[in-house]
Each structure stands twice: as C-alpha cells, then as structure tokens.
Structure 1
Amino acid sequence: MKKIASLTIVTVLFIGTGLMNWDNVSAASIDGLNDKINDLEKKEDKIDKKKGNLNNKAANTEEKISKNLDKQGKVNSEINSIDQKLSNTRSKIMKKKNAIDETDKQIENLNGQIQAAKEKIEQLKKEINVLQKRIERREKMLKERLRAIQSNGGSMRYIEVIMGSQSFGDFISRSTAVNTIMDQDKDIMETHMAEKREVQHKKAEVENKKEQIEQKKKEVEQKKASLQNQKQDLESLKSKLNNQMDEKENLMGKLKDKHHELEQYKMSLAEQQKTLSDQAAVIAEAKEKAASEKERLKQLAEKREREAQQQESSSPSSSSGGSSATTYSSGGGDAIFNYPVAGSISSGYGGRSLGYHYGIDFAASIGTPVHAAASGVVTRSAVSSSYGNVVYVYHPQYDKTTVYAHLSSRSVSLGQSVSSGQTIGAVGNTGNSFGAHLHFEVHIGPWNYHSGVNPLPYLP
C-alpha cells in the first residue's frame, strides 16, 4: 500500500473536512505536497495511456463492427439469393407435381380405354365365335353341295334339269329354279367371304386400337417416370438449398451474436473511457488543489521565515522552536474495508459457467442501504448497461477503488467526498442482474477494467 505524506493532503484533496494547522507548516509538508503532485501526475499519465489504449481498442472495435456488418450484408444477400432459388425450385416442384397428377389422370383414362378395348375384344370374340360357327356350318353345307354337284357330274346336271323339261313352261320353271339355286349359292359364297373379311377386319381393328392405347399408356408412363425423376432432382436441389439456407442462417446468427458482443464491448469501452475521464477530472482537481495548497504553504513558510528573522534581529537570545507535520499512514493489515451492506455473500470472486465474476455478491432485499467501505471520493455515479446504477469510490489512503453495482438508487454524485460507512445508495436489481443483490468490486489504484482483485482479503 502507498502511504500519503500527510493527513493534511488527504483532508484537502479527498475528504474536504477541515483546514490545515498553519502553525505546523514545515518543509516536510511542502515536500509531501510535491510528492503528492508528482504521484497525481503519474496517475494522470497512466490514465492518459489507458485512454489512448481504449481509443485504439474502440477504433479497432468499430472496424470489426464495420467488417461484421459487411459480412452480414453479404450473407444476407446470399440468403436472399438462396431464398429466391428455393422459391423458384418450389414453384418448379409444384409444376412437376401438377404435371405428374395430369399424367396420372391420363394413365387412369387410358387404363379405362384399355379396359373398354378389352371388353370390346371380348365382345368381338363372342361375335367372331358366332360368325365362325356360322361360317363353319356354311362351309360344311357348301362342301356337301359341292360333293353333291361333283357326284352328279358337276354343272352339266343343271343342263339336264333344264333339257328334261316337258314343256316350255316347264322349261321356264326349271330355268328359274336353276338360276335361283345358282344365285343362292352365289349369295352364300359372297356372304361367307364378306363375314370372314368382317371378322378379320374387326379383330385387326380392335387389336390395333388396343396396341395404340397400350403404346399411348407406355409413353405417358415414360413421361410420368421422367417427371418423377425431374421432381426428385428438384427435391434434391431443394434439400441442398435448405441445407445452404440453414448454414447461412446459422452463420448470420453467429455474426449477429458477434455483432452484439462487439456492441457490448464497444459499450464497455465507452464506460471505461467515461470512468477514466471522470477519474482524470477528479485527479486534475486534486492536483490543482494540491498546487494551490503548496503555494499557500510556501507563502506561509516564507512569512514565518521573515517573522523569525525579525524576531532574531530584535531578540538575539530567543530560541527557535521546531515544527513537525502530522503524518498519516495506511494502517496495518489487509482488512482495510468495512462490509458495504448487511447481507450474506451469495456469489464469490472467480470463474463461472457463463464467464468470469470480477467481484462478490451480497444477497439483500431491494432498498437495503449500501455504505462506503472506506472514506474516499466518488469517481463515478451513473447508469451502466451492465452494472445498472453504479457508484465508484477511490480511496487515496489505500490507492484502491471500490465499485457498488446494480443499485436501485444512488445517493452520491461525481467528485463528492464520502466518509467510511456513509450511505451511497440502495440494493437493487438494475442492469445485467438476475435478482436483488449488491455486486461489490475492489480495484488496485484508480478503476481499470483489468485491475480488479478478490475483495475478500480486504474485508474483516
């Protein structure tokens, strides 16, 4: 721990609770102020460097955010392109489905036609069977007629019938009868041949029609198979596009998460910059007061020296009395802070499943008073996106900073001096909090994002 040169500098710079005893002014007091000013200037330099680093980090984060947004834009464009392809593919699949449904109807219709043709063929088979029986009977009759003609000498028997007529009238009758028989035979033969041709024609016609329908069915089935293959290809394309869409949406989700993380980091940097600026303002004010008090002490010392010289010239035997400055040290031991709130510790310092816990939590109901762990000066009193209502107190006598987060209310303001045990706020559940509690941190020196340490060793 760093020692402060005198109680006076602590009082003037950070507590502001009294005036110096000018009768005890000495060179040691001025030297102590010089040391304090030098120490404050070093702190200013450190803060300036930290602010510079934060500015660089902020610029780097902005660049990363810009690149992330560019990637998001590119991925979003790819998603839109895939979505358009998916839409077109779905439309094509629907068209193929409709075409397949249409071919199914055609196949069903052709199946009906084939069934009708089969029924027609069965009917024709029956008709052909009847015709064939008639033809067979007729052929049998004709064969018998021909055998009779042949056994009777062939066609000359017709002449004998005619020549054997007894009279002219008998001749006419016989001639007419012969002609009738010959005409009947002719008709029978023509009918016989016509019916045979008809049977063959009908049979050929139905078989041809059946072949045409079956060929048509075969073509439609081939068309259906082709459509199903095309539909399957489109389904495969759709599946591939869906996988691409899932990958792109997953990537977009990661980019958005990264963007959120960068934005949170950016806000964290902004908070750090604001805190460092507030601390720098307090230190600058402290340095200004120290310089002013140094000048006043110097003038007072010069005045005392002149008075002493005058006294020596008027009273040579007078003795000079020494003066001493009251000094102040940090005290012994590490338990330098008091408990900031009445409540049990619900969460310790260190690693967690969801990250690192840079402080300890005190379980307490909302509104429970929160006290300054030691005297000091407020270097931040504001609302944070992560800490909610938060108060930072710098304790110069220990060169440490305490943080009180998730408050429901704040009772102190930036630059205000506070005494140990003074109420600075109330327990709450603000910011990134999941239940009423006080989050308490201890930092070495002025607050810094990476200067936190475990608070427990500094508590009684």
Structure 2
Amino acid sequence: MTLAVAAVVSAASFSPNLANAVSNQEIQQKKNEISNIKSKQSSVQKQMNEADQKIKHLQAEQDKLTQEIKKLDMAVSETSGKIHEKSQQIEETKQNIEVLKQQIAEVQARIEKRNELLKQRVRSLQESGGVISYLDVLLGAQSFSDFIDRISAVTTIFEADKQIIKEQEADKALKKEKEKELTTNLANLERDLKELEQLKQTLNVQISQKEKLMKNLEHQEEELHEEKLALEEEKELLEKQEAAMRSQLQQLIERQKAERARQNTTSNSSSSGAGNVPPITNGAFMRPANGPVTSEFGPRWGKFHYGIDIGKRGSSAPIVAAADGYVFRSYYSDTYGNVVFITHVIDGQLYTTVYAHLESRLVGEGQTVSKGQMIGYMGNTGRSTAAHLHFELHRGPWNAAKSNAVNPRNYINF
C-alpha cells in the first residue's frame, strides 16, 4: 500500500515535466528552421553581391558614356569653332567679291571704252573707203623729213592699235579669271559650311542619344540601389530571426539537459548500478566511466594507442558523455564494436569524443546529450580482448589518421 502511494505521488510530481518534455524532434526541427534561415541568408547575400556587381557594371558603363559624351562635346565645340571660322571666311569672301566686282566693273568699263574706240576706228575705215594703206601714207611724203615723220606716225598708230588689242585681251582674261576665282571660292566655302553644319547636327544627335542612355543607366542603378536596400532589410530581419531561433534552440537544449539530468538522477537512484556512474565534475570534460585505467595514450605493442582504456568494475558499468555535445554517429563498427561519436564545441573550439566496445548504446544519431548523461554500457564488442571502454579525445574533427587525437589526461583527471 505504501509503495503504491509513493508511486502515485512520484508520478504526480513528474507528470508536469513529462508533459513539457523537450524531444529531440523539437530540437532537430528548430535546427532545421535555423538551417533554412541560413540558406535564405546565403541566397539574400548572393543577390546582394549580384546587385553590387551590376551596380559596378552600370557605373563603369556610365563612366565610359561620360567620357564619350565629353569627347562629343569637345568635338561639337571644335566644329562650332570651325563653323564660326568658315562663316567669317564667307563674310570676308563676300566682301572680297564686292571688291572684285568693282574691279571687274572697272575692267569692264575699260573693255567697253576700248570697244567704242575700236568701233570708231572701224567706222573711220568704212567712211574712208577701206583699209588704210600704210604704204600710200609713206609714199605720199613730200620730203625725206616728211617721210621720216610719216614712218614715225605709222609706227605709233600701229603700236597703239596693237597695245589696245593686247590690253583688251588681258582685261578679258582677267575678268574671266576673277569671276572664276570668286565662283570657286564661294562654292567651296558654302560646301564646307554645309558639311560642318551637318557634322554638328550629327554630333548633337549622338549626344542626345548618349544622354538618354545615361539617364536609363542612372535609372537602372537607382532601381538596383533600392533593390539592395530591400535585400539589406531582409538580411537584417533574417539575422534577427536567426538569433531569436538560436536563443529558442538554446533554451530547448537547456530544458532537455535539465530533464535528462533529473531522469538520470531518478534512474541512478533506483538502479543497482548507481554507484558505478561517475560523478559530474568541474571543467570542460569529465570521466566517461568509473574503473581503473588499463592502457594509456601512447605507443603500445609496436603501434600507437590513440586513446585511454578503462577497465570494467562490477557487473554493470555505465558510460556517460564526457561533455555536452551532439551525437553524429552511433553504430556497430568491425573494429570499435558498438561505438558512439560525439562532437562538442567548447569556447569556440571543436572537439570529438569516441566511446568504443560498448555492450549497448542508449543514444542515437542526431541526439543532443548533456555532460554526465548515460550513453551506453561498457562491453567487449568489436576487436577487444576484454570488457573495457576505449575512449578517444580529438581536438578538432575525427579522421582515419587520428591526427587530431590528444591525450585525454591533459583534459580529464583520471
């Protein structure tokens, strides 16, 4: 009757804790949520990096366009200068044309005057009945002196006629040359001015197009900056969300540790092997099992022994976790036998502990364990000659070469 009442009281006292018990599934679910958040953060960061690259590319394109627009502006300025110069030349040429026109008018007047003179000579000849015979003039001399005078007069008249004709031909040629020069110069200037005006229009069109493209690039950059700001907000939100989830996860782990500690205390107090459970000690690590050390860390039988062996004492030898951690492997190995691998993070440093040759395993992969929590019983499985615990401690991850293995005595007082 007494035992029954005690059982009822005991069940009543523990039922609230069991109702609020934290399961490994809850912890794993929270870890999965954190992992999803991390994945989203990674995706957001990737998008931010891509946005940065696009912004840099757009800025480079804008710098390139700025240089091109600057060159075009300089070309327009130079062309405008040439247009102004050509316009001045045209004005000067037009003024020269007026001077040449005056000169041509003067030449034309001389030509017309000579023409009139020549017409008069022709009319005189017609009135005299024909062409003057210079021989008749000479033979009509009354004396030798008159003959000489007549020769001089005839020569003078002849040379005068010849000079008039020569000057007439020269003035006609000059007039023709001046008119041609004026026409050519004016045509060339008008052509150059037209080409420069067309070039200026082309350059202005190119500037307009590039300025339009520049505005488009600036608009795209503005949109990318806005997108990046939105991504930064999302990143900040995800970081805060992750921090909150990690806090929740830590609370779940602490609750689970407390629940398991209570369960272990209850279990150990009612177990016949309670005296074989090693007490939880201060420090990062504790003894994983009670019993004598039967083999040390170091050279052994021509090989290197990467752990410490603890012999079995009594009929039942519980094995406990040396520190808070996470079971990432729990299986049967041909060499280790029943073995449990636990990873720990202590003060930012990763450690790995190995518990081999177990008779049975009480924890599975993916399970979180607390320091001093039972994980199995000492046994003689795998390549073992007697019941014992082979315990390894690695500063870092475990590897087949066991290059990270350290002497457990440097961390635990055996």
* TM-score tier (shorter): 0.5 to 0.7
Aligned residues of 1:89 and 1:238 also touching (Cα < 8 A): yes
1:191 corresponds, among 161, 167, 170, to 167
Asked whether the 8 Å contact 2:22–2:252 carries over to 1, the reply is: no
Does structure 1 conserve the Cα–Cα contact (< 8 Å) formed by 2:125 and 2:132? no
Runs (4+) off by over 4 Å: 25-30, 278-295
Correspondence 1:179 to 2:155: yes
* Unpaired segments ≥5 residues, structure 1: 1-24, 296-460
**What is the aligned counterpart of 2:20 among 43, 58, 74?**
43
Q: Does 1:32 align with 2:9?
A: yes
Q: Is the 8 A contact 2:22 2:256 kept in 1?
A: no
Q: Do the aligned partners of 1:131 and 1:195 also contact (CA within 8 Å) in 2? A: yes
Distance 2:89 2:12 in 1: 113
**1:90-101 map, 5 Å:** 90-101=66-77
2:52 pairs with one of 62, 76, 86: 76
Local SS of the residue matching 1:236? helix
Give the structure 2 partner of residue 59 of structure 1.
35
Distance apart, 1:284 and its partner CA: 5.4
**Match among 230, 236, 259 for residue 206 of structure 2:** 230
Q: Where does residue 276 of structure 1 map in the other structure?
A: 252
1:171: Cα distance to partner? Answer: 1.1
The one-letter code of the counterpart of 1:220 is: L
CA contact (8 A) 1:37 1:287 kept: no
CA distance in 1 between partners of 2:26 and 2:58 (Å) = 46
Contact 2:83 2:193 in 1 (8 A): yes
After TM superposition, the score normalised by the length of structure 2 is 0.59
Post-superposition offset of 1:280: 4.3
Tell me, what secondary structure is at the counterpart of 1:44? coil
Structure 1 residue 151 corresponds to structure 2 residue 94: no
Q: What letter matches 1:73 in structure 2?
A: N
Structure 1 Cα separation of the partners of residues 5 and 105 of structure 2:
144
Whichever residue aligns with residue 190 of structure 1, its letter is K
Per-residue deviation, residues 31-56 of structure 1 (Å, max 9, x unmatched): 2331231321231236x544332211
TM-score by length of 1: 0.54
Are 1:58 and 1:269, in contact at CA under 8 Å, matched by a contact in 2? yes
Task: Give the residue type in structure 2 aligned to 1:36.
Answer: S
- Structure 2 CA distance for aligned equivalents of residues 286 and 122 of structure 1: 121
Distance 2:170 2:22 in 1: 126
Contact 1:100 1:227 in 2 (8 A): yes
Counterpart of 1:109 (choices 82, 85, 97) is: 85
Give the partner amino acid of 2:20.
K
Q: Which has the higher contact order (CA 8 A, sep 6+)?
A: 1
Alpha-carbon distance in 2 for matches of 1:29, 1:146: 167
CA distance in 1, matches of 2:257, 2:111: 129
Taking the aligned partners of 1:176 and 1:290, their CA distance within structure 2 comes to: 165
DSSP-derived class of the 1:154 partner: coil
Which residue among 228, 239, 251 is the counterpart of 1:252?
Answer: 228
Q: Is the 8 A contact 1:114 1:213 kept in 2?
A: yes
Q: Can you give the 5+ residue segments of structure 2 that lack an aligned partner in the other structure?
A: 272-414
Deviation for aligned residue 1:105: 1.1
